[in-house]
């Protein structure tokens, strides 16, 4: 990766040194966390420490941190773990939520991708009048556009009608404060690899009083809420990455300055450029750039050939580039021309300079080719 400018942090952040060292140390612990002998207790100590660390990061209770295989499983557990509930999700959720409950009712969004609170209230009232129990699932920050949702306002509305609230905070973790108490939510999904931890480990934090039916059975792990031997190596790395994320949160101001410079310079050069969600609050590291008439897939490949890694929409589509349902729900007419540029703590001014130079050259080449064909 040394020769590549990496600007795809929303897909996955590089493994940080703290997580790497924690995982190397955990490799020497042979025991199963469920075993009562010394080696098992050593493994259990790693897991328990991680629970406390991660609980502090999200303002939760360490006894109510459920380790999962990642954000997708955490979302699925939240959506399917409550019995006899009608599920409402925003129309711009991550595929693991959209496809995790295909029977869910969709909350519409405005042109910036922000949930329509009036529509949600009408849905809640209708469900309450029908005697239905409801779970509302709204992400904290969108993985494609970075748009931040008014989750606390959603939760206040939900409470008025006796509904529970789940928040997918996978993309927000480490980039903005995530506090279950302030968000007023009952469940929060998070994932390690977005904050420099290893892939394949995540967690669902639940509030007191939330009782879940396990979706993976066959053991008493995670207080009978998720069967299977704990991924001690992954959990150790997750814990270290969480500690680092907490310590470096203030550094996101530097990331914001880089992202703002990138958008300002591109917009100055290309007046036709659209920035999705520009009119509302977004994650400071994310830019969804729409260059009308130029397919996003073409842009991704051209930039990759020039040594710059970005993406087109969500990275959870088995390598397929497809038109964004998020942008479609926002009413973007040229959604197929979108790319996502996402920065991290390691991003430098030189990285931004390189991206701007390569993108500008790509745009210029496309314009000249179009002019030749028109002639």
Helix axes 117-129, 151-160, angle to 10 degrees: 20
Q: Partners of 282 in the beta sheet?
A: 147
In whole angstroms, what is the distance from residue 275 CA to residue 278 CA?
Answer: 6
Ramachandran class of 15: left when φ > 0, alpha when ψ lies in -120 to 50, beta otherwise = beta
Please state, rounded to an integer, the average pLDDT across all residues of the chain: 95
Question: DSSP assignment, residue 113?
Answer: S
The per-residue pLDDT for 370 is: 76
CB atoms within 10 A of CB 211: 9
Angle, alpha carbons 103-314-107 (nearest 5°): 35
The per-residue pLDDT for 1 is: 45
Distance of CA 235 to the CA centre of its chain: 18
User: Which domains are present in the chain?
Assistant: 5-13+250-374 (3.90.1150.10), 17-247 (3.40.640.10)
In whole angstroms, what is the distance from residue 211 CA to residue 81 CA?
Answer: 8
User: Helices (DSSP H) in the chain: which residue ranges?
Assistant: 17-26, 38-58, 71-80, 95-98, 117-129, 151-160, 180-183, 221-224, 232-247, 252-269, 296-305, 325-329, 349-374
Share of the chain above pLDDT 70, in %: 97
Kindly list the catalytic residues.
316
Query: For residue 172, what are its two tokens?
Result: 């927000």
Nearest to 168 by CA among 211, 115, 132: 115
The per-residue pLDDT for 103 is: 97
Written as one string, the DSSP assignment of 63-108 is: GGEEEESSHHHHHHHHHHSSSS-EEEEETT--HHHHTTTTTPEEEP
Place of tokens 């809640």: 124
The per-residue pLDDT for 249 is: 95
Average pLDDT over residues 105-113: 97
In whole angstroms, what is the distance from residue 202 CA to residue 231 CA?
Answer: 10
Ramachandran class of 341: left when φ > 0, alpha when ψ lies in -120 to 50, beta otherwise = beta
Contact 18, 354 (CB under 8 A): no
CB atoms within 10 A of CB 13: 23
In whole angstroms, what is the distance from residue 143 CA to residue 9 CA?
Answer: 10
- Interval 253-311: pLDDT, tens: 999 999 999 999 999 999 999 999 999 999 999 999 999 999 999 999 999 999 999 99
The per-residue pLDDT for 321 is: 54
């Amino acid at each position: 990766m040394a020769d590549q400018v990496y600007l795809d942090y929303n897909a996955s952040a590089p493994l940080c040194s703290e997580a790497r060292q924690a995982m190397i140390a955990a490799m020497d612990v042979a025991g199963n966390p469920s075993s009562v002998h010394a080696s098992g207790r050593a493994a259990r100590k790693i897991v328990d420490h991680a629970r406390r660390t991660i609980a502090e990061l999200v303002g939760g209770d360490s006894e109510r941190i459920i380790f999962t295989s990642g954000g997708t499983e955490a979302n699925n557990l939240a959506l399917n773990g409550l019995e006899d509930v009608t599920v409402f999700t925003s129309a711009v959720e991550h595929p693991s939520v959209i496809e995790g409950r295909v029977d869910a009712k969709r909350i519409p969004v405005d042109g910036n991708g922000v949930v329509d609170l009036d529509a949600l209230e009408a849905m809640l009232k209708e469900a309450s009048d029908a005697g239905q129990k409801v779970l509302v699932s709204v992400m904290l920050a969108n993985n494609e556009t970075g748009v931040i949702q008014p989750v606390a306002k959603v939760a206040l509305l939900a409470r008025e009608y006796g509904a529970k609230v789940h928040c997918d905070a996978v993309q927000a973790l480490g980039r903005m404060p995530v506090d279950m108490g302030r968000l007023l939510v009952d469940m929060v999904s998070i994932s390690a690899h977005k904050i420099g931890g290893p892939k394949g480990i995540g967690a669902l934090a639940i509030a007191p009083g939330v009782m879940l039916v396990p979706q993976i059975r066959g053991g008493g792990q995670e207080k009978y809420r998720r069967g299977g031997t704990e991924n001690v190596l992954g959990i150790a790395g997750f814990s270290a990455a969480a500690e680092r994320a907490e310590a470096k949160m203030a550094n996101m101001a530097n990331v914001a300055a880089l992202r703002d410079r990138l958008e300002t310079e591109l917009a100055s050069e290309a007046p036709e450029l659209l920035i999705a969600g520009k009119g509302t609050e977004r994650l400071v590291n994310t830019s969804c750039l729409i260059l009308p008439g130029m397919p996003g897939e073409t842009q991704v490949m051209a930039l990759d050939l020039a040594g710059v890694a970005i993406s087109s929409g969500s990275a959870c589509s088995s390598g397929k580039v497809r038109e964004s349902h998020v942008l479609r729900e926002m009413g973007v007419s040229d959604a197929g021309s979108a790319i996502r540029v996402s920065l991290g703590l390691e991003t430098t001014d030189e990285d931004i300079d390189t991206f701007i130079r390569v993108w500008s050259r790509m745009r210029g080449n496309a314009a000249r080719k179009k002019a030749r064909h028109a002639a």
